[in-house]
Amino acid sequence: MFTRTAVAWRIQLEPPIIIVQARMSSSRLPGKVMKTVAGQPLLGYLLDRLEKIENKQRVVVATSEDNSDDPINLYCDTRQIECLRGPLNNVAERIYQALQKTHAKAFVRISADSPLLDPALVEKAQKVFFRTKAELATNVLRRTYPKGMSVEVVDTTAFQKAYVKMTDVEDREHVNRIFYREPDIWRIAEFSSEKDLHRINLSVDTESDFQNFKRIIARMQRPHWTYGLNEILRLGVEEE
């Protein structure tokens, strides 16, 4: 389906890095990524899950240089996770800088408000990305998975081209929006759920979401990272 000599294609069969974007200054639930459940912050739950991904190069947390994000940096130190810091209000710049420092040829973008992210979805996204030689592999273009299960794998060269065009505040905050706005320009490969689950919310953006996350964790009888999406759904979640 795609032509073009796929981006030096792909000396890249090395796994993408995983970039987790995280900050403390959430408007609706400040400090949410470091709010604790059973002694561990939300960010820790996500990192636990990302560590289970078989085909990965490294995990990087991209946070800001603002003092408010010092707790994120300190926590990453305790986990021996690389933490790269950039502008508070320019997520695109943070990711751009992270790519320059890591020399990654591709990356998986994950939001820290997804503490229950199923590692299998990241692995699936990577397979789609390499199989189709896409510039963006995503389950977000037409959402069929719950919020909190969003995965995007992005070619670095494509991101760098898009970055130049990210001139307004929304594009710099929602960094891959430009790809979805121009689907005919970019090589986009989608993957979707067999069942439409887009009304279910597993992300943590509000106090209500946080309480729902606590309930799900409390119902688990094994280490949380052993629960995939289907089992999490069976634990009981509420639609938005």
pLDDT in tens, 105-159: 999 999 999 999 999 999 999 999 999 999 999 999 999 999 999 999 999 999 9
pTM score of the predicted model = 0.91
Task: With a cut of 80, say whether residue 98 has pLDDT above it.
Answer: yes
CA distances from 108 to 10, 45, 113, 135 (A): 16, 17, 15, 12
- Identify the pLDDT of residue 11: 45
- Identify the pLDDT of residue 238: 54
pLDDT in tens, 22-46: 999 988 899 999 999 999 999 999 9
- Cβ(63)–Cβ(83) under 8 Å? yes
Domains of the chain: residue spans and CATH: 17-234 (3.90.550.10)
